[in-house]
Chain A
Amino acid sequence: MEQPILRVRGLAKRLGDVQACLDVSFDLYPAEILAVVGESGSGKTTLLKLVAGMLAPDSGEVLYTDAEGRVHDIPRIPESLRRRLLRTELGFVWQDPADGLRMKISAGGNIAERLLAGGLRSFARARQAAADWLARVELPAGRLDAPPEEYSGGMRARLQLAKNLATRPRAVFLDEPTAGLDVSVQARILDLVRGLSAEFGLAAILVTHDLMAARLLSQRIIVMKDGRAVESGLTDQVLDDPSAPYTQLLVSSVLGEA
Chain B
Amino acid sequence: MKIPATRGFAFLGEDSKRRVRRAILKAVALPGYQVPFPGREMPMPYGWGTGGIQVTASLIGPADVLKVIDQGADDTTNAVSIRAFFRRTAGAAVTEETARATIIQTRHRIPETPLAEGQIMVYQVPIPEPLRFIEPRAGETRALHALGEYGLVHLKLYEDIVRHGEIAQSYDYPVMTAGRYAMSPSPIPRFDNPKLDMSPALHLFGAGREKRIYAVPPYCPVRSFDFEDYPFKARIRQGRCALCGSESSYLDEVVVDDAGGRIFVCSDTDYCRSRLAAGAAAGEREAAPAGEGRGRPGGSPVPPAGPGSPDAGRSAPGGALGDRCGEGGPGGGGEGGATGRAPAAREGTGQGWNSRSCA
Contacts and interface: CB of A to CB of B under 8 A. Distances in A.
A117 B161 contact: no
A113 B157 CA distance: 11
Nearest to A78: B147
A168 B158 CA distance: 21
A83 B149 contact: yes
A105 B159 contact: yes
Contacts of A105: 134, 155, 159
Interface in B203-237: 227-230
A106 B227 contact: no
Interface string A78-92: 011001000000000
B158 to A, nearest CB: 5
A145 B158 CA distance: 11
A70 interface: no
Nearest to A121: B228
B162 interface: yes
Contacts of B84: none
A117 to B, nearest CB: 3
Contacts of A117: 149, 151-152
Contacts of B158: 108-109, 112, 116, 123, 126-127
B171 to A, nearest CB: 21
A139 B157 CA distance: 24
A255 interface: no
B18 interface: no
B296 interface: no
Given A106-B162, A109-B158, A121-B227, A79 B147 contact: yes
A118 interface: yes
A102 interface: yes
B151 A80 contact: no
Interface string B132-154: 00100000000100010101101
B229 A123 contact: yes
A113 B228 contact: no
Interface residues of B, number: 18
Contacts of B154: 116, 120-121
Contacts of B155: 102, 105, 109, 112-113, 116
A122 interface: yes
A107 B154 CA distance: 15
A78 to B, nearest CB: 9
A124 interface: yes
Q: Which of B143, B155, B159 has the most CB of A within 10 A?
A: B155
B133 to A, nearest CB: 10
Contacts of B227: 121-123
Contacts of B134: 102, 105
Given A83-B147, A121-B228, A113 B162 contact: no
B147 to A, nearest CB: 5
Contacts of A108: 158, 162
A83 B163 CA distance: 29
A123 B161 contact: yes
Nearest to B151: A117
B147 A113 contact: no
Contact of B151 (A79, A116, A124): A116
A79 to B, nearest CB: 7
A163 to B, nearest CB: 12
Contacts of A126: 158
B166 to A, nearest CB: 10
B231 to A, nearest CB: 10
17 contacts: A79-B147, A83-B147, A83-B149, A106-B159, A108-B158, A109-B155, A113-B152, A113-B155, A114-B151, A116-B154, A116-B158, A117-B149, A120-B154, A122-B227, A123-B227, A123-B229, A124-B229
Given A112-B158, A113-B155, A121-B227, 13 more contacts: A83-B149, A102-B155, A105-B155, A105-B159, A106-B159, A108-B158, A114-B151, A116-B154, A122-B228, A123-B161, A123-B229, A124-B229, A126-B158
